[in-house]
Amino acid sequence: MDFSSSMAIKPSSSSCSSLFAISRAQNSSPKPLLFNFHGIPRNHQSSFFKSLKCIQSPPPGSLPSNPSSFSCSAVTLSPTQTSYLPPRKLSTLVAEFQSLLEPLDRVKRLLHYASLLPPLPASSRTDSNRVMGCTARVWLDAQMDSEGNIRFWADSDSEITKGFCACLVSVLDGAGPEEVLQLKTEDLAALNVGLPGGERSRVNTWHNVLVSMQKRTRALVAQKEGKTPFEPFPSLVITTEGIQPKGTYAEAQARYLSPDKLKVKELVHVLKEKQIGVVAHFYMDPEVQGILTEAQKEWPHIHISDSLVMADSAVKMVKSGCKFITVLGVDFMSENVRAILDKAGFGEVGVYRMSNERIGCSLADAAATPDYMDYLESASNSLPSLHVVYINTSLETKAYSHELVPTITCTSSNVVPTILQAFAQVPDLNIWYGPDSYMGANIKELFQQMTLMSDEEIAEIHPKHNRDSIKSLLPRLHYYENGTCIVHHLFGHEVVERINEMYCDAFLTAHFEVPGEMFSLAMEAKRRGMGVVGSTQNILDFIKQRVQEALDRNVDDHLQFVLGTESGMVTSIVAAVRSLLDSSNSTSSTKINVEIVFPVSSDSMTKTSTRASPALKSVKAGDDIILPVVPGVASGEGCSIHGGCASCPYMKMNSLGSLLNVCHHLPDERNNLKAYETERFKLQTPQGKSIADVGCQPILHMRHFQAKKELSEELVYQVLGSHGNGK
């Protein structure tokens, strides 16, 4: 939500109109107002002056040092005289557009200013000068003049967008770097110049052009101060012609995006022969995901997703004839699959993990501690209470929790609607979220931001809430403060600083589990249509949507996405993007490049023997050369305190070799796979009930919510006081 407290300030008079100055008396018959452009190169002046109704002579000595550049300014002052003007210029600009009461008049005024902005030369209309996130194509160039002030030039192939650019250039051209960087996107909220129905995309244009101006300003300041620029994060560039990795880490990821056909054939053969279904999480190793993605084309019973639908997919596979289910994930995922199959009446179907050792999860482990049980003991003493537990926890945790406090599971994609519905459905409710501390803090911050929205905007998120109800629920929302996922834990300050410096104008994606700084950065991007915060599926859907929008515009484009979650996601992203690009390639000559950026550092990788491949420069499909790096630091943690996470070490215990080994030994007549099989819980809860039965209830409550969009009557009954009397 954007806000502005800008106040109109009456400009001083000059021989030509000051910045967009207009009185209300002019509304019925607005007169054309004028930019006073100065600093226009002599070789551009004659053609440019023809487009102006009135112009002052450029002040002596104001030509920029670059003879091929040009600039515009709202008033005829030297840059050193404008140090106090950007806020005043913006306030005057706001006052002018607010004085035009009809939307059509505001658009006409915007188009008028668009006509005064000179076009950029072809040499400046380059991909490197493109502004990302705008519906139309926008180009922006900048340089620092001899006095240390920033000069801007902009253009667009849309007249409306060109008018936006003209306004922003008029406010910031010639300003000092600190003035450019101090302007907030919220300050532009009052510039309501759009036609009804298109407000959001036009607000995004204001914001994205401003963010690009600020990115270029930071780069110019760093260059002047002689600072070494940040090294770019590794990335993969996806085109219709293939994949180009940038950086050794990206090469390691790209290695398996074109999988070994013989291994694909072997896997498909054994899956078909033995009727085996495969459910896998997005965070699988790139080699495994590459093989599975290709095998899906020949065997439909392979599903790669987030944890929410893995068990559902297993049930569908069994109903279609699969006799065994292999689970590629951490142990709580295979536990959930086993329990849900049993609930569905498929207890005879074997469920197999990919390791004979425990496949843990730092987040699930945090909930299996005495400290977490103490947290829930506090909850049980604050009636009415509901425990909202992240699905990434063990069945045992869910069972023990549900006997202490009525419990419903959630995912990163449904946690917010679950909490809002619970507060709306149960008066005076206390909600206790856990175990992910970052997600809990981010949820609370999200609700804090909602208190600044209008009732209408809040109603769009949940129809039974308004500002007063959101304010009242905040003191009754609690979250556990000692649980984190090692994959998302280190998207912290250093990564955020680097993203803010180099990728602030890119599309930002972030899992709901990231630390607060990364969350805030992605939320700001989300508000201007440039980001998403949510589950792995939300991230994938966002990228697909933005790529499809670029294809629909039918113009060449370069889209850059920062991947704020586990790098294993890239396999599914590449497959989805390739599918979209290939489907349009036959009907369009448009070139769309999609770049996936991995916010990791060199410390997130392990070097292998350079003697194995001393001259490796790039990755080719089908090439068996050993890479000089592999994802994951030498200790096996897969993360670096110096910049983000490479991969989840637990997920990487699910290897292709293990999958093939399990499949080849099925059916397990000789009991060779005993350590791999997901067993049913034989233990009981403190109340003497089956862990599997009680642990499934929070999951079933979530399934009811997913289907009906409200808490079940049974859960509400438990919350309101009868829970302790048994179920």
Residues classed as catalytic: 134
Cα–Cα distance, 415 to 390 (Å, whole number): 8
Contact 402, 698 (CB under 8 A): yes
- H or E segment to which residue 292 belongs: helix 286-295
Q: Six-digit token pair at 143?
A: 């340089």
Q: Six-digit token pair at 501?
A: 């410096």
DSSP 161-203: HHHHHHHHHHHHTTB-HHHHHH--GGGGTT---PPTT-HHHHH
Cα–Cα distance, 302 to 312 (Å, whole number): 12
Contact 533, 519 (CB under 8 A): yes
Cα–Cα distance, 289 to 668 (Å, whole number): 25
Query: Helices 536-553 and 570-585, interaxial angle, to 10°?
Result: 20
Contact 97, 191 (CB under 8 A): yes
Q: Six-digit token pair at 156?
A: 């667009």
Write a three-state SS string for 337-363. Answer: HHHHHHHCCCCCCEEECCCCCCCCCHH
563, 649, 651, 643: which is closest to 603 by C-alpha? 643
Which residue spans within 641-700 are E strands per DSSP? Answer: none
Q: Six-digit token pair at 115?
A: 């006509």
Judged on CB neighbours under 10 Å (0-12, 13-18, 19+), 285 is buried
Residue type, 266: E
Contact 334, 364 (CB under 8 A): no
411-to-63, 390, 566, 598, 704 alpha-carbon distances in Å: 58, 6, 16, 24, 14
Contact 144, 92 (CB under 8 A): no
Who's near 592: CB < 8 A, 6+ residues apart?
239, 240, 547, 550, 551, 556, 557, 558, 559, 581, 584
122, 365, 312: which is closest to 707 by C-alpha? 312
- Residue-wise burial string across 348-377, b where 16 or more C-beta atoms lie within 10 A, e elsewhere: ebbbbbbbeeebbbbbbbbbbeeebeebbe
355-to-138, 266, 341, 352, 681 alpha-carbon distances in Å: 52, 20, 21, 9, 18
Contact 132, 147 (CB under 8 A): no
Query: What is the torsion angle, in degrees rounded to the nearest 10, for the CA atoms of residue 247, residue 253, residue 255 and residue 260?
Result: -170
Contact 200, 543 (CB under 8 A): no
311, 249, 254, 246: which is closest to 279 by C-alpha? 311
DSSP code of residue 628: S
100, 260, 278, 307: which is closest to 190 by C-alpha? 100
